[in-house]
Amino acid sequence: MNITIVTACPGGNATSWLAAQRLARAAERAGHTPAVHGENPGAADLVIVAASAPVDLSRYAGRPLYRATPADALADPGRVIETARGAATPYDPAEDAELEPEPAAEPVSRAGGDGARIVGIAACPSGVAHTFMVAEALTDAGRSMGHEVRIETQGSVGARDALTDEEIAAADIVLLACDIEVDDSRFAGKRVYRASTGAALQRARATIEAALAEAAVEPEGPAEGGAPAPEPEPQDAVKDGIKDRGVYKHLSAGASFMLPMVVAGGLCIALSFAFGIHAADEQGSFAAALMQIGAGSAFKLMVPVLAGYIAYSIAGRPGLTPGLIGGWLATGIGTGFIGGIVAGFLGGYTALAVKRLVPLPASIQSLNPVLIIPLLSSLATGLVMIYVIGAPAAATLSTLTSFLNSMGSTDAVMLGLLLGGMMCLDMGGPINKAAYAFGVGLLSTHTYLPMAAIMAGGMVPPIGLGVASLVARPKFDAAEREGGLAALVLGLCFITEGAIPFAARDPLRVIPCCIAGGAVAGGLSMYFSCKLMAPHGGLFVLLIPNAINHIGLYLGAIAAGSLVTGLVYAVIKPRLTGGAGAADVADSLDLNPSRAS
Q: In this structure, what are the phi and psi dihedrals at residue 16, rounded to the nearest 5 degrees? A: -60, -45
Torsion 559-563-565-566 (CA) sign: positive
Cβ count near 269 (within 10 Å): 25
- Measure the CA–CA gap between 142 and 538, rounded to whole angstroms: 34
d(CA 381, CA 317): 16
What phi and psi, each to the nearest 5 degrees, are found at residue 153?
-105, 130
Query: Any catalytic annotation for residue 268?
Result: no
Judge whether 381 and 346 are in contact, CB under 8 Å.
yes
CA distance 496 to 116: 34
Contact 349, 240 (CB under 8 A): no
Judge contact between 77 and 22, C-beta under 8 A.
yes
Q: Are 302 and 261 in contact (CB under 8 A)?
A: yes
CA angle 551, 555, 557 (to 5 degrees): 115
Residue type, 216: A
For residue 96, give every residue at least 6 positions away whose Cβ sits within 8 Å of its Cβ, in sequence order, or none: 57
For the stretch 378-409, what's the b/e string if a residue is b when 16 or more beta carbons lie within 10 angstroms of its beta carbon? bebbbebbeeebbeebbeebeebbeebeebee
* Start-to-end C-alpha separation, the chain: 23
Q: Are 431 and 419 in contact (CB under 8 A)?
A: no
Among positive and negative, which fits the CA dihedral 307, 311, 316, 320?
A: negative
What are phi and psi for residue 159, nearest 5 degrees? Answer: -80, 135
Measured CA to CA, the distance from residue 526 to residue 409 in angstroms comes to 8
Cα–Cα nearest to 558, from 594, 528, 592, 589? 528
Q: Is 372 helix (H, G, I), strand (E, B) or coil?
A: helix
9 catalytic residue (yes or no):
yes
Active site residues: 9, 124
